[in-house]
Amino acid sequence: MENKEEQAPVVLAGLELDSDEDFEHSMEEMLSLIDACNMEVVDVVRQKLPHPEAGTYLGKGKANELKEAVLQTGAAYCIFEGNLSPAQLKNLQNITGIEVWDRTRLILEIFSRRARTREARLQVESAYLQYMLPRLSGMWQHLGRQAGASGSMSNRGIGETQLELDRRHINTRIAELSRELETIKRTHDVQRAGRLKSTLPSVALVGYTNAGKSTLLNKLVEYSGSNEDKKVLQKDMLFATLDTSIRRIHTEGNKDFLLSDTVGFIEDLPHTLIKAFRSTLEEAVHADLIIIVLDVSDDYYRLHKKVTEDTLKELEAHTIPRIYVMNKADLLPEVNGDLPKIKQDEIWISAEKGKGLEELLDMILAKVYAGSETLTILLPFARGDLLNLLHQRAHILSEEYLPDGTLLKVNCPADLLDRFREYTYE
Ligand SMILES: Nc1nc2c(ncn2[C@@H]2O[C@H](COP(=O)(O)OP(=O)(O)OP(=O)(O)O)[C@@H](O)[C@H]2O)c(=O)[nH]1
Ligand SMILES: [Mg+2]
């Protein structure tokens, strides 16, 4: 890969199909993705066609124009807005003489650069290998040419033997990775089960990349006066977050909950990546409440909302209750003055300016502690475990020691009601 400091020059190519209404938006998003990969667009080649050309994606003439642009600019990569078939990729690489990436390949590259934890690294490697597998022949053809140039062997022989070896090698590695990931997932499941049984309701922040999820997590931690001072990275860059972070949010009256922040979504998130990141995203799947964070200052936020909802469906998390946070509302002059604005399950806030945090917390608590009831109970002294549970989860209104045990008046969360009914005291 290129030196990280130096931005690799890129020619961006886009094909506008008749059916594609959001082409301009996709091209703009490509600029942000390329930027997130520390590369620089030096030229853009675009074409309008009813459908992609089978062999070269672009039309023949356009493909030659692309080659010219590459020669003129000295670009190191040619990146396509859409996704290319293995054959198209190979042909375009031959035509331009440089490395050709499609959108999926670019997103994989960003993920691989950002992956920090062991789990994220394994997930990205697995997604990358699955992507490469059907595209290997293009790569070996390239190597074969080099070997052929030295004149000692037949291109075909080297290419094909190497290809076969590589396929086998990669398949073995993919299997190995899924075993390792499965082990990590089991550990997570056990940890999650532990949290579910003994502690607090869980709330997950999800949404399009760059919507402000990490900013909101940091602000809520700060606002709740929690002493967890470990901030998560918030940055104006696509896919700043790749791992899941969980923080405990303190509230008055013992209504604490766990808040998680995770990898953002994007339109057409490559399927291999969704699959590979499933265990990272699993935190959202198991939440009691999902907060969908949207950047309302983005003209395309409705599209982002749909992408988020579709991705949740794919993760089978669409039945979990949700709140919609319309974030970055400070950038909308018409509402900025009177934030927060609340409409049913939607709340307009500014995470960055800290506007609407209190109201959002109220909405969260109303949801996760919905169905809670005030009970008067007498707990035998022997049930210290249950007393602890109440202290962790319930809002304790009064507590007094009687000869037979502890008499408590509590606001008990719905999921615990059954466990305490038998101790109710008239
Ligand atoms: N004006 C404004 N900017 C905000 C607000 N919330 C977040 N931002 C900015 O938006 C950018 C992205 O914020 P993040 O919190 O990193 O977004 P994210 O959703 O975690 O993004 P990924 O981790 O990349 O998926 C940062 O530059 C923030 O400062 C807001 O309420 N108003
Ligand atoms: Mg983030």
State the closest ligand 1 atom to the C-alpha of 263, by its place in the atom list counted from 1. Answer: 25
Ligand 1 centre to CA of 234 (Å) is: 6
The whole-model pTM stands at: 0.81
Q: Domain-by-domain residue ranges, the chain?
A: 8-101, 116-198, 200-368, 373-423
Residues 116-141 have pLDDT tens digits of 888 888 989 999 999 988 888 756 55
Residue nearest to atom 14 of ligand 1 (CA): 212
State the closest ligand 1 atom to the C-alpha of 331, by its place in the atom list counted from 1. Answer: 1
- Residue 196 — very low, low, confident or very high, per pLDDT cuts 50/70/90? low
- Residue 150 — very low, low, confident or very high, per pLDDT cuts 50/70/90? very low
Residues 360-408 have pLDDT tens digits of 999 999 998 888 888 999 999 999 999 988 887 777 778 999 999 999 9
CA distance 89 to 25: 23
pLDDT of residue 331: 97
pLDDT of residue 3: 46
- Amino acid identity of residue 127, one-letter, is A
Ligand 2 centre to CA of 294 (Å) is: 13
Beta bridge partners of 43: 11
Mean pLDDT of 68-84: 96
The pick from 241, 331, 352 for probing ligand 1's pocket by mutation, whose C-beta has the most ligand atoms within 8 angstroms, reads 352
Mean pLDDT of 212-218: 96
- Residue 298 — very low, low, confident or very high, per pLDDT cuts 50/70/90? very high
pLDDT of residue 282: 76
Angle at 118 between CA 116 and CA 122, to 5 degrees: 105
Mean pLDDT of 217-222: 93
Ligand 1 centre to CA of 323 (Å) is: 18
Three-state SS sequence of the chain: CCCCCCCEEEEEEEEEECCCCCHHHHHHHHHHHHHHCCEEEEEEEEEEECCCECCCECCHHHHHHHHHHHHHHCCCEEEECCCCCHHHHHHHHHHHCCEEECHHHHHHHHHHHHCCCHHHHHHHHHHHHHHHHHHHHHHHHHHHHHHHHCCCCCHHHHHHHHHHHHHHHHHHHHHHHHHHHHHHHHHHHHHHHHHHHHCCCEEEEEEECCCCHHHHHHHHHHHCCCCCCCCCCCCCCCCCCCCCEEEEECCHHHCCEEEEECCCECCCCCHHHHHHCHHHHHHHHCCCEEEEEEECCCCCHHHHHHHHHHHHHHCCCCCCCEEEEEECHHHCHHHHCCCCEEECCEEECECCCCECHHHHHHHHHHHHCCCCEEEEEEECCCCHHHHHHHHHHCEEEEEEEECCEEEEEEEECHHHHHHHHHHECC
pLDDT of residue 229: 64
State which fold the 200-368 domain adopts: Rossmann fold (3.40.50)
Report whether 110 contacts 36 (CB < 8 A): yes
Ligand 2 centre to CA of 264 (Å) is: 7
Residues 300-343 have pLDDT tens digits of 999 999 999 998 998 888 888 999 999 999 999 998 888 899 99
**CATH number of the domain located at residue range(s) 8-101 in this protein:** 3.40.50.11060
Highest mean pLDDT among 21-35, 145-159, 161-175, 245-259: 21-35
Instruction: Inform me whether the pLDDT recorded for 162 exceeds 70.
Output: yes
Ligand 1 centre to CA of 302 (Å) is: 17
Residues with CB under 6 A from ligand 1: 207, 209-215, 234-236, 238-241, 264, 327-328, 330-331, 350-352
Residues 170-182 have pLDDT tens digits of 999 999 999 998 8
Of 228-232, 258-262, 263-267, where does mean pLDDT reach its minimum? 228-232
State the closest ligand 1 atom to the C-alpha of 355, by its place in the atom list counted from 1. Answer: 31
Do the domains spanning 8-101 and 200-368 agree at the CATH topology level? yes
Task: Starting from the CA of residue 213, give the closest ligand.
Answer: 1
Distances (CA, A) of 310 to 18, 105, 128, 306, 313: 23, 22, 23, 6, 5
Nearest Cα neighbor of 101 from 57, 48, 143 is 57
CA 58 to chain centre: 31
Of 39-53, 89-103, 389-403, where does mean pLDDT reach its minimum? 389-403
- Residue 158 — very low, low, confident or very high, per pLDDT cuts 50/70/90? low
